[in-house]
Structure 1
Amino acid sequence: MRIHAFHRLLQYRQSIATKPFKARGAKVNRCTYCQVAKQYCICEHQPSIESKFAALIILSENEVCKPSNTGRLILDVITDGHAFQWNRTEPQSELIDLINHAEYQPIIVFPEEYVDDKQRLVSSSKTSAFNNKKPLFIFLDGSWREARKMFRKSDYLSDLPVLSIKPDALSNYIMRKSDNDAHLATVEVASLVFGQYGEPGTEKLLSSWFEVFKETYMMSKTRYSSDPTRPVLTSFLNRDKSLD
């Protein structure tokens, strides 16, 4: 498996923690990397794909240690991936350097209704305006309340273009529910972005990996009836990899 930026961020947070992370499911003996119960570890099946995109996940403090987090699944698939914990006033210098790197065109993915300056909005048809730079899609990963705070209170993001996604389907995320059922999990948003920007193979692979994660994650829940034959994982392993 490939150890990526989210894994390193989680390991750092765990190394400086003064007390163990305690939340629902904390008693499950989890894999360090895929965060599902060790007996169901999916690390050996981690996919990857050659993509023309890069991904940056900026996570709220609470989100980094949640085993149900889905933002890290994006970095399982996208090899040019980055992850940082959000800080309003003292962002990491590495994060600022990445956003300003000449190779990339950073683009925040966020709903249009929260963008006051509509001139910041871009669409998937405007890639020619980026002067052949590699799109660096920025996903704000946290609860909906946390994501809005990150979007509004991060001066270093305030001038970046914004891509707004209008999904045709409601969220299929079953591990955690938003107050608004129309809100998507971070990985679902990323899948739509990659598809709309012309990489249906990346969209399909990421969506399929999310389904594998959901199936496996729910197997550790005693109140959830799961299929021990793991049909979703079986289907994923039998996929036509030439389509990835």
Structure 2
Amino acid sequence: MLPAPPHAVSLLRDARLARSTRPFLARGGSRRVHCPGCRLVTSHCMCLLRPQVATRAGVCLLMHDAEPLKPSNTGWLIADVVADTHAFGWARTEVPPALLALLADPQWQPCVVFPGEFVEPARVVRTVEPAAAGAKKPLFVLLDATWPEARKMFRKSPWLDRFPVLSLEGGEASRYRLRRSTRGDHFCTAEVAAQCLDLAGEGLAADALDAWLDVFSERYLLAKHQRPVDPGSAAHVRLQALAG
């Protein structure tokens, strides 16, 4: 099986590394050799398990400066599963022309995903119309950052003000285990994307992304503690069922 071509997040990571003046050292990062395709240490590589799911919905990731470099970043996993994933670095004073062009593209209906409690009620929506043939396709704009960073990004991006804001309803607590949060209702970026896909009628893609996240998290932690992969674990069985 040939390696998958680089996607939007991997290309953004390469560009971010190219302009770095010193190497990025992840907190608790491993010095072992990592796979460039999935970022896991090579002994725990999961590239051959990557699900292939067709979707009509798209994702636009606005990534805070260091996010593309973090080995635990889950925006990368979204780009693995959703072919129409676009990724841009966020800056307060400059908006990439390619990002503005994407948001103005008539094939897409952008909506910013953010909690409705911080937004004017008139902008808030809670449902998404599934993409029908000939209609605009939903483009979910996700702020990929820590919660304090995301709030700042939202406030300081006036060029997003013309778009509706999708506020997701509360549900189960986050399953994400690779970074600490003081609140169980703070979801990682991949979990948010999966909820958006489900709302857009892309249930198979949502399930595949959730399963992909679970396998990544499991293998990441096993590698961190130098324990072997368990291909018969519940996470692996679920991903394999979706792939087959």
Name stretches of at least 5 consecutive residues in structure 1 with no aligned partner.
none
Q: Give the structure 2 partner of residue 114 of structure 1.
A: 118
Shift of 1:127: 6.2
Shift of 1:179: 2.7
Q: Give the structure 2 partner of residue 93 of structure 1.
A: 97
Q: Give the structure 2 partner of residue 229 of structure 1.
A: 230
CA shift digits 1:7-29 (9 cap, x unpaired):
10111111221111112233243
Shift of 1:238: 3.1
Q: Give the structure 2 partner of residue 149 of structure 1.
A: 152
Shift of 1:102: 1.2
SS of 2:204's equivalent in the other structure is: helix
Cα gap change, 1:125 to 1:109, in 2 (>3 Å): closer
Shift of 1:232: 4.5
Cα gap change, 1:141 to 1:108, in 2 (>3 Å): same
Shift of 1:48: 2.4
Take 1:125 and 1:137, find their aligned partners in 2: how far apart are those partners? 10
Shift of 1:215: 0.9
Code of the aligned partner of 2:108: Y
Q: Give the structure 1 partner of residue 61 of structure 2.
A: 57
Shift of 1:63: 1.2
1:37 aligns with 2:41: yes
Task: Answer yes or no: is the 8 Å Cα contact 1:120–1:160 preserved in 2.
Answer: yes
Task: Answer yes or no: is the 8 Å Cα contact 1:212–1:232 preserved in 2.
Answer: no
1:190 aligns with 2:193: yes
1:81 aligns with 2:46: no
SS of 1:235's equivalent in the other structure is: helix
Cα gap change, 1:38 to 1:232, in 2 (>3 Å): farther
Task: Answer yes or no: is the 8 Å Cα contact 1:105–1:133 preserved in 2.
Answer: yes
Single out whichever of 227-236 and 176-185 deviates more from structure 2.
227-236
Cα gap change, 1:227 to 1:110, in 2 (>3 Å): same
Structure 1 residue runs of 4 or more that deviate by more than 3 Å after TM superposition: 125-128
Q: Give the structure 2 partner of residue 105 of structure 1.
A: 109
Shift of 1:46: 1.8
RMSD (Å) for aligned C-alpha atoms: 2.0
Cα gap change, 1:176 to 1:28, in 2 (>3 Å): farther
- Number of equivalent positions: 237
Shift of 1:125: 5.2
SS of 1:220's equivalent in the other structure is: helix
What TM-score, normalized to structure 1? Answer: 0.90
What TM-score, normalized to structure 2? Answer: 0.90
Take 2:40 and 2:107, find their aligned partners in 1: how far apart are those partners? 35
Take 1:127 and 1:19, find their aligned partners in 2: how far apart are those partners? 44
Equivalent of 2:25 in 9, 22, 26: 22
Single out whichever of 75-84 and 230-239 deviates more from structure 2.
230-239
1:199 aligns with 2:202: yes
Task: Answer yes or no: is the 8 Å Cα contact 1:55–1:80 preserved in 2.
Answer: yes
Cα gap change, 1:10 to 1:169, in 2 (>3 Å): same
